[in-house]
């Protein structure tokens, strides 16, 4: 009996040791991966507070000896940060809202209505994710450079019409028609969500006298709020960081992405100073931190909805 107790105790201790070693290995692995991911951001954050003397000091790695806010002050002045921040938030918010609404309607129709060509339309929406952005920018540019509703869907190029380049109208039209940046992904996510909802919900609503629109508005849409918030977040973030669409379709708009490229070089040139690669790197680091701060704040306040949407997308139905 005593031997059995000792054997069982040894087995428990061995199991605890193996579990402890596995936990340590897992935490070390996760910490290493987290450092690899965050290390560039940490370097940029550290560099944004450094003075030019800290860059030439070999003993300074992450913590500057002469910390300064001059880099931020210079970038904010050059950026005209307040004006561009307001316009960027307004543009990205409008784009995110319109894309969320249009993609929700398209996804619901593809998920719950049966009609000929439904799978073809869904396949074409997914196919847009494969096509590189650079491939479709030239046709989009020509369509909006010579915009005409009559010839918009013609296969040939009719070089007559209204010039919409440099205005937010191209982005509004693309967002309203669910043809914006990454809209194929949004349609896929929402379509899968609606497709997995129980049919009994709609049948109960029809029995109570609801038509298709009221069923969608009062029954299906409230349950999809968390998923729609996630779509809005994706759209806002990708539009905030988008460079190709902004530079090609809206080059005259005072938003961050139109001046984000080569900020350090532009500031150094405007100061009339000699081209200093090290000083340019400091400006670029400060500009990057200022660019991502709004996204970090947005994620902090909306992470609950993001996590809920991911969880519910896997257990619906």
CATH 1.10.150.50 correct for 80-261: no
Most confident of 3-17, 48-62, 189-203, 299-313: 189-203
Q: Locate 269 and state its tokens.
A: 């040139």
What is d(CA 81, CA 29) in angstroms, rounded to the nearest whole number? Answer: 39
For 2, other C-beta atoms within 10 Å of its C-beta total 6
pLDDT at 101: 92
Instruction: Report pTM.
Output: 0.79
Rounded CA Rg of the chain? 27
Q: Compute the average pLDDT of residues 312-316.
A: 49
Most confident of 157-161, 198-202, 232-236, 282-286: 232-236
**Cα 57 to the center of its chain, rounded Å:** 37
Summarised one tens digit per residue, pLDDT across range 21-59 is 888 888 888 888 888 888 888 888 888 888 878 777 777
pLDDT at 103: 92
pLDDT above 70 for 157: no
The percentage of residues in the chain with a pLDDT greater than 70, rounded to a whole number, is 84
pLDDT at 294: 85
101 or 83, which is more confident?
A: 101
Confidence of residue 317 (pLDDT cuts 50, 70, 90): very low
Query: For the chain, percent helix, then strand, then coil, each to nearest 5?
Result: 75, 0, 25
pLDDT at 315: 43
pLDDT above 80 for 85: yes
pLDDT at 171: 87
pLDDT at 316: 45
pLDDT above 70 for 208: yes
For 52, other C-beta atoms within 10 Å of its C-beta total 15
Give, in degrees to the nearest 5, the angle at Cα 247 between 243 and 252: 135
What is d(CA 66, CA 280) in angstroms, rounded to the nearest whole number? Answer: 18
Sequential DSSP letters for 92-156: HHHHHHHHHHHHHHHHHHHHH---TTHHHHHHHHHHTTTS-HHHHHHHHHHHHHTB-TTTTT-SS
Q: Compute the average pLDDT of residues 281-303.
A: 83
What is d(CA 262, CA 249) in angstroms, rounded to the nearest whole number? Answer: 20
Most confident of 156-160, 209-213, 259-263, 268-272: 209-213
The percentage of residues in the chain with a pLDDT greater than 90, rounded to a whole number, is 4
- Only one residue has tokens 């949407």, namely 309
Mean model confidence pLDDT for the chain: 80
Identify the weakest region by mean pLDDT among 89-93, 256-260, 279-283, 309-313. 309-313
- Only one residue has tokens 């920018």, namely 137
């Amino acid at each position: 009996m005593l031997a059995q107790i000792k054997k069982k105790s040894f087995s428990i201790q061995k199991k605890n040791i193996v579990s402890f070693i596995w936990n340590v290995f897992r935490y070390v692995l996760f910490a290493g991966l987290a450092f690899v991911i965050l290390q560039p951001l940490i370097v940029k954050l550290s560099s944004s507070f450094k003075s030019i003397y800290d860059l030439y000091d070999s003993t300074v790695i992450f913590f500057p000896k002469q910390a300064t806010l001059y880099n931020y002050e210079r970038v904010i002045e050059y950026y005209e940060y307040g004006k561009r921040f307001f316009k960027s938030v307004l543009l990205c918010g409008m784009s995110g809202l319109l894309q969320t609404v249009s993609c929700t309607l398209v996804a619901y129709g593809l998920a719950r209505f049966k009609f000929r060509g439904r799978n073809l339309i869904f396949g074409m929406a997914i196919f847009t994710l494969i096509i590189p952005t650079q491939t479709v920018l030239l046709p989009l540019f020509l369509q909006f450079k010579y915009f005409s509703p009559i010839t918009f869907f013609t296969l040939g190029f009719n070089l007559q019409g209204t010039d919409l380049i440099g205005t937010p109208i191209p982005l509004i039209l693309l967002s309203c028609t669910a043809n914006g940046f990454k809209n194929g992904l949004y349609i896929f996510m929402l379509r899968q969500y609606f497709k997995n909802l129980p049919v009994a919900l709609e049948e109960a609503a029809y029995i109570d006298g609801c038509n298709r629109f009221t069923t969608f508005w009062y029954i299906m849409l409230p349950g999809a709020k968390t998923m729609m918030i996630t779509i809005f977040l994706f759209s806002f973030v990708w539009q905030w960081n988008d460079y190709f669409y902004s530079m090609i379709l809206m080059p005259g708009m005072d938003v961050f992405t139109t001046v984000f490229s080569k900020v350090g070089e532009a500031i150094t040139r405007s100061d009339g100073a000699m081209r200093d690669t090290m000083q340019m790197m400091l400006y670029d680091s400060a500009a990057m931190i200022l660019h991502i701060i709004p996204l970090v704040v947005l994620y902090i306040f909306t992470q609950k909805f993001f996590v809920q949407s991911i969880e519910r997308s896997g257990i619906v139905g």
